Amino acid sequence: MKCLLCGQTMKTVLTFSSLLLLKNDASCLCLDCDSTFERIGEEYCPNCMKIGLSTKCQDCQFWCKEGVEVSHRAIFTYNQAMKDFFSRYKFDGDFLLRKVFSSFLSEELKKYKEYQFVVIPLSPDRYANRGFNQVEGLVEAAGFSYLDLLEKREERTSSSKNRSERLATELPFFIKSGVTIPKKILLIDDIYTTGATINRVKKLLEEAGAKDVKTFSLVR
Ligand SMILES: [Zn+2]
Ligand SMILES: [Zn+2]
């Protein structure tokens, strides 16, 4: 078996449980590549997992004032290795790389048994250009399905706007007509930075009737 990222051949160690359960829990990464990614440590904002502090961060206080109680979990930090990964996966469009983190993701996502998964969608143009939704790829590779509740409309570029202008603009996401909103939702994205997108979509789903919306990203 070859490492999905660097291509070097890996020694595969068959564990008793993988033989017994015929379960494919082998990592798709060699130890060298694996060691370049950094898992979020012990100290982080209890609401959003921002690292380096142990109380509610300023962003989460901001969201609280906006009526959103942030409840986010993530696995990895956005270090250089992760930036390189997303540049290959998203921008070079290497769909095979969706499997790189599947064992980590499956470990985390199986904790949300009572929740229906919903993925942050791409706009139609973005989807057409990339050919796939990178978040759907990650979730499917980890062995989970998701509900198709949301759509994203095209929006004009927002680079000229400042933060408050961006937050004030209309949300480009909407709920598809005729869908049923489940009570418990895990809303999934690839990367959480300010949380602007995912927390505004969380609020949208809560306003549409969801009782408990938690959020999740591979990277924070
Ligand atoms: Zn490797
Ligand atoms: Zn926070």
**pLDDT per residue as tens digits for the range 169-201:** 688 999 999 999 999 999 999 999 999 999 999
Which ligand approaches the C-alpha of residue 73 most closely? Answer: 2
Q: Quote the ligand 1 centre to 185 CA distance (angstroms).
A: 34
Closest ligand to residue 68's CA: 2
Measured in Å, residue 139 CA sits from the centre of ligand 2 at 24
What is the token pair recorded at 36?
Answer: 């370049």
28 in Cβ contact with 3 (< 8 Å):
yes
Q: Which ligand is nearest to the CA of 36?
A: 1
pLDDT digits (tens, 9 = 90+) for 34-91: 999 999 999 999 999 999 999 999 999 999 999 999 999 999 999 999 999 999 999 9
Question: Ligand 1 centroid to 29 CA: how many Å?
Answer: 5
Output the pLDDT for position 155: 77
**Tens digit of pLDDT for each residue in 115-172?**
999 999 999 999 999 999 999 999 999 999 999 999 999 876 656 666 666 656 688 9
Q: Look at residue 110 in the predicted model and tell me its pLDDT.
A: 97
Ligand nearest to the CA of 220: 2
Looking at this protein, which amino acid is placed at residue 66? E
pLDDT value at position 199?
A: 97
* Cα(212) to centroid(ligand 1), Å: 39
DSSP lists the bridge partners of residue 150 as 175
Q: Which listed ligand is nearest to 49 at the C-alpha? A: 2
Express the helix, strand and coil content of the chain in percent, nearest 5 each: 35, 15, 50
Dist. CA 107–CA 25, nearest whole Å: 10
pLDDT bucket at 104, cuts 50 / 70 / 90: very high
* C-alpha of residue 123 to centroid of ligand 2, in Å: 27
Placement of tokens 């502090």 in the chain? 53
- Position 28 confidence tier, pLDDT thresholds 50, 70, 90: confident
Confidence (pLDDT) at 18: 56
Q: Please list all protein residues whose beta carbon sits less than 5 angstroms from ligand 1, which is an ion.
A: 3, 5-6, 30, 33
Say whether pLDDT at 215 is over 70: yes
pLDDT at 10: 83
* CB-based contact 199:70 (threshold 8 Å): yes
Q: Residue 24 C-alpha to ligand 1 middle, in angstroms?
A: 18
> pLDDT value at position 13?
61
